[in-house]
Amino acid sequence: MDIQRWALTTNRDLGLAGFTAYSWWVAKFERYYDICGRKSTKFVTGKYLKEEPEMKKSADEFLL
C-alpha cells in the first residue's frame, strides 16, 4: 500500500479537507493509471557483484 501512504503524506502537505485514501480509492487510482504491483524476486547484493567475476571464471573452468 505504498500509494496509499504516498497519498496520505501528500494530503498532509496540501491540506485537502475530507480526503482519505481508502483501499477502494487506491484500487481505482491503480486501474485508471494502469499501475500493477510487482513482487521483487531477485536481490543483487554488493557481495554478489564483487564475487560475480570469480564465479564466472570458476564456471568457465568447470566447463573446459
Query: The whole model's pTM is what?
Result: 0.49
What are the extents of the domains in the chain?
Answer: 2-63
Contact yes or no for 60/28 (Cβ under 8 A): no
Average pLDDT over all residues of the chain? 85
pLDDT given at position 14: 92
CA dist 30 and 39 (Å) reads: 16
Confidence of residue 48 (pLDDT cuts 50, 70, 90): confident
**pLDDT, mean of residues 2-24:** 90
SS3 helix, strand, coil % of the chain, rounded to 5?
65, 0, 35
